[in-house]
Chains A and B, each alone.
Chain A
């Protein structure tokens, strides 16, 4: 294992949102000991400040001590400081979406593990979410490409393969994704289908103009 997960901790900006007491002082000191830039913040701010990589926050039975909505562009890893383990507090812990937790009374051993774990899980979660978003986008494009292909087949009398190739060529020529080109075909098609003049102008002209296709006779 390389030192990189630990190197990441150097200068990491860690915010501790918890009322000041002896134990919390020890937490902040220990975070500094292991190389983090730690600071204590209390009373709790109305929202998470944008300049934190990691936020330790108190879990009260009524929920997290701070509104955990991150500022746009800032996605800190969240570590709950758990005091009570009654069902209400545990529900708050789950609802907080914390990536890890530490228990009170706070002991120096365990803090580093929680920190490393939270960073790793948060990173993994982030990668998974990005992948899900990408898959969803691909899935949607897939459907749109199918629809656009059908439109071209219908209005231009092309084969499925030829219609798809046409969309792809346009995407390459205009430096757009295949999905975006497909979407514009669908949109244009819908606009002219709905328009009162739709009957006078053929849908094939529409698609052609959208795609800026060279004039070409249908086979």
Chain B
């Protein structure tokens, strides 16, 4: 199995978590006797957050290394860059990250959250808290632009207001994040919805604390700020920021305690365990389960066997959708406790079907109930 996660550069934090989660899963599978009696061998390359290297290493894995299955990529840019190679050589990518939806490739299994599994519950939660004025900020590429489009649509359809929508480059020049902070202070929205990624997200959180903006007044809401980012920032002032994700390390269940315990035994007693670790782990476990069913590495056969596959994951029951190659996950909302974990303040009663095209978007009209309830 090829493993394509960055250990350095812009996406260092989430991809290191993805990598560790995937490696832990592979080691557990091998310790239990492997798949059909044979161990999984992981070949890892570090693309160092460089898009050219993702493509180059994907090609190397699929040709020189004769690997047909890859787990990897975090940003949509890196997924899009390896997709042509995968489709041409009929490889299979297990893509563990949340993303903006609107994609289906017969050569990809998507195990991260689709927008209906994070943006919709997040908008609903924020409206319920009374937020009406939203400031949307993001890194300038497809995931933030598309997520903000969905968020803006939700906000405006339900009587909220987008005070401004601001983008900064993936690697922002000096001063760009300070200007963002100044806009937050000038506009004083009810909430900042952030789709900044990688290091800029972390630097923004630190700047927010330095500027003395209280999350109790103006929280930052996101899909993608996990335990790993908050721990790396290491500021008590971050308490109160809000994340929508299917996994938090604080989920109370035997399966999750076992996972968190195993992760910390393997990578260090103090390491954070976030949604990226959880999704990397799940993707690799699902791959092993699909391979066990398929009995061979042929891509179409494996996709066929992966569809409908269910698993007891650290976050609870998950399943690969029988049709769209995305994954049924349980949406949750967490509020950062300022120290080491999220307080899970809301979770769906059951796993939610992935809807990458927001086909059942109309079903979100229950958001208006929430708005109504808040008004009453």
Contacts and interface: CB of A to CB of B under 8 A. Distances in A.
Pick the most buried of B106, B150, B357: most chain A CB atoms within 10 A of its CB. B357
A123 interface: no
A7 B357 CA distance: 10
Interface stretch (A28-36, A67-75, A176-184, A203-211): A28-36
Interface string B101-123: 01111100000000000000000
Interface residues of B, number: 16
A108 B361 contact: no
Nearest to B359: A35
Contacts of A201: none
Interface in A1-52: 1-3, 6-7, 10, 26, 29-30, 32-35
B153 interface: yes
Contacts of B150: 3
Contacts of A112: 102
Pick the most buried of B103, B150, B324, B359: most chain A CB atoms within 10 A of its CB. B359
A3 B357 CA distance: 11
A3 B324 CA distance: 21
B60 interface: no
A7 B150 CA distance: 12
Interface residues of A, number: 17
A35 B149 contact: no
Contacts of A2: 153
A33 B324 contact: yes
A105 B11 CA distance: 36
B104 A33 contact: yes
A109 interface: yes
B105 A109 contact: yes
Contacts of A34: 357, 359
A26 to B, nearest CB: 8
Contacts of B149: 1, 3
B157 to A, nearest CB: 9
Interface in A83-121: 107-109, 112
Contact of B361 (A3, A32, A107): A3
A30 B104 contact: yes
Interface in B332-376: 357-359, 361-362
Contacts of B323: 29, 32-33
A33 B106 contact: no
Interface string B123-157: 00000000000000000000000000110010000
B326 to A, nearest CB: 10
Nearest to B357: A34
Contacts of A35: 357, 359
A174 B358 CA distance: 52
Contacts of A107: 87
Nearest to A4: B153
A108 B150 CA distance: 22
Given A10-B359, A35-B357, A108-B106, 11 more contacts: A2-B153, A3-B358, A6-B358, A7-B361, A10-B362, A26-B106, A33-B357, A35-B359, A107-B87, A108-B105, A109-B103
Interface of B: 87, 102-106, 149-150, 153, 323-324, 357-359, 361-362
17 contacts: A1-B149, A2-B153, A3-B150, A3-B358, A3-B361, A6-B357, A7-B361, A32-B323, A33-B323, A33-B357, A33-B359, A34-B357, A35-B359, A107-B87, A108-B105, A109-B103, A112-B102
